[in-house]
């Protein structure tokens, strides 16, 4: 099937995959924010599991008095980390929407999530890994985004040094950072 | 156009998270003092059970464990997590009582303020009498909670002493192979058993009453 003279060339599978990977990476950055509405931790003595936004409301809750008396620093971790994580998640998603990376924001989200899991043990019910579905999801997604951004950095280095073109091409597709043509956006 | 669409998606999810936070914050701000007080009483009940379990567990280990273990480091390996757990539980129990007292003061202050709004002196006197009865029940609950805390503190002091014994034993074992130091532990155990039985009675008491200070009405 030959295309007409004025018709733009069809997308190759490489371009389609690159575009799909770009959208997947953006969706993952959005999912981190969505996870704030899912269960994060169950505090010792409370009947309900707290979500990310629920942990933020501890700042205005009378339960904060009790938690501060038990472990003041851990209480600060429980309240401040979700706030910082949300701010970084907004920065991250906004950067991904513009097809840019934000390595510091991703690392900060992962570090804050780990700080809640391991840094607030006295206040959280249970032993071992003190994370419910939402917090575990954030750890997994932010780790995936860290790998994604690390691969983009590697790709950039390879491009500058003009080495391993086959690997470069693969990274362009896998990370979604390569060129593609789409009806909405011509690159 | 795609970028605009993606940016809109970011804004939409930020709005959703902000709405979720606002909903929860609104709930927290508009919860009555009575609900907060009830939650703090539930917390005291939970921590009473928790401290009871950890103290009895530590006591039971001391009873059963010391006779069979002749190596100080093994004994400390078993002892330390239980001792730390007992200390942590006591701290939570103590904090839960202190927090409940703060909530109780807020609750009774609100109750008194509402009673003061009655114009009819008869109704006001009746409400005042009701408030006083509630407060009397609360003070009864508070004194039992303090009594139980006192028992728990005494047990913890014994556990502190036993921990010191074990640490001294560990220190002396660095230059001596004499296992005779274990003799000090059983005497501490017999004293601990008495304290534990007293504490168990007291914690049963507090568990009975911490359903709510007003349930006896």
| Boundaries of every domain in chain B | 1-30, 33-209
In whole angstroms, give the CA distance from residue B170 to residue B166: 6
Distance CA(A184)–CA(B4), nearest Å, equals 11
Measured between CA atoms, how close is A162 to chain B, in angstroms?
A: 30
What span, in angstroms and rounded, lies between the C-alpha atoms of A166 and A183? 28
Distances (CA, A) of B137 to B100, B131, B144: 14, 10, 11
In 3D space, the residue among B168, B170, B10 whose CA is nearest the CA of residue B75 turns out to be B170
The yes/no answer to whether this complex scores an ipTM above 0.85 is no
Half-sphere exposure of A84 (CA within 13 A, CB side): 18
Q: What angle do CA A170, A26, A178 make, to 5 degrees?
A: 30
* The CATH number of domain B33-209 is 1.20.1420: yes
pLDDT tens, chain A, 187 aa long: 455 566 665 667 777 888 888 889 999 999 999 999 999 998 888 888 899 999 999 999 888 889 999 889 999 999 999 999 999 999 999 999 888 888 999 999 999 999 999 888 878 775 555 788 999 999 999 999 999 999 999 988 888 888 888 888 887 878 877 777 765 554 4
Q: Which of residues 73 through 112 in chain A touch B, CB cutoff 8 A?
A: 86, 90, 93-94, 96-99
User: Is the Cβ pair A30, B39 closer than 8 Å?
Assistant: no
- Cβ of B7 and A97 within 8 Å? yes
- Shortest CB distance from B36 goes to which of A44, A62, A90? A62
Phi, psi dihedral angles at B211 (to 5 degrees)? -55, -45
b/e per residue, B22-41, with b = 16+ CB within 10 A? eebbeebeeeebeebbbbbb
Taking only the tens place, the pLDDT of each residue in B39-96 is 888 888 888 888 888 877 777 766 665 555 666 677 777 778 888 888 888 899 899 9
Rounded CA gap, B20 and B178, in Å?
64
Of B1, B47, B50, which has the smallest distance from its Cβ to A185's Cβ?
B1
Chain A neighbors of B25, CB-CB under 8 A: 57, 60
């Amino acid at each position: 099937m030959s295309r007409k003279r004025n018709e733009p060339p069809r997308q190759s599978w490489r371009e389609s995959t690159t575009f799909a990977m770009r959208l997947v990476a953006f969706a993952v950055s959005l999912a981190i924010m969505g996870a704030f509405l899912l269960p994060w931790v169950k505090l010792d003595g409370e009947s309900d599991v707290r979500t990310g936004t629920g942990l933020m409301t501890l700042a205005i809750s009378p339960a904060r008095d009790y938690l501060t008396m038990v472990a003041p620093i851990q209480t600060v971790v429980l309240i401040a980390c979700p706030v910082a994580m949300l701010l970084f998640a907004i920065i991250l998603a906004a950067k991904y929407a513009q097809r840019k990376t934000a390595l510091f924001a991703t690392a900060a989200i992962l570090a804050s999530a780990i700080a809640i899991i391991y840094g607030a043990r006295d206040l959280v019910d249970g032993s071992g890994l003190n994370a419910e579905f939402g917090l575990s999801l954030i750890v997994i997604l932010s780790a995936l985004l860290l790998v994604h951004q690390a691969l983009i950095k590697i790709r950039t280095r390879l491009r500058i040094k003009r080495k391993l073109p086959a690997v470069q091409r693969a990274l362009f597709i896998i990370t979604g950072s390569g060129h593609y043509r789409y009806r909405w956006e011509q690159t | 156009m795609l970028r605009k669409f993606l940016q809109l998606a970011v804004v939409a999810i930020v709005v959703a998270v902000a709405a979720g936070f606002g909903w929860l914050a609104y709930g927290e701000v508009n919860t009555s003092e009575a609900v907060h007080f009830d939650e703090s009483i539930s917390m005291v009940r939970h921590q009473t059970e928790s401290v009871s379990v950890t103290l009895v567990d530590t006591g039971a280990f001391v009873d059963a464990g010391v006779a069979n273990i002749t190596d100080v480091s093994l004994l400390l390996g078993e002892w330390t997590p239980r001792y730390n757990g007992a200390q942590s539980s006591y701290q939570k129990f103590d904090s839960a009582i202190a927090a409940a007292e703060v909530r109780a003061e807020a609750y009774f202050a609100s109750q008194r303020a509402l009673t003061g709004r009655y114009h009819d002196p008869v109704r006001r006197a009746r409400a005042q009498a009701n408030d006083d009865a509630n407060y009397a029940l609360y003070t009864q609950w508070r004194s039992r909670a303090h009594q139980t805390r006192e028992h728990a503190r005494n047990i913890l002091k014994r556990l502190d002493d036993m921990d010191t014994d074990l640490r001294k034993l560990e220190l002396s074992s660095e230059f001596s192979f004499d296992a005779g130091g274990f003799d000090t532990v059983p005497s501490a155990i017999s004293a601990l058993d008495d304290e534990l039985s007293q504490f168990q009675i007291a914690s049963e008491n507090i568990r009975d009453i911490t359903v709510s200070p007003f349930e006896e009405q």
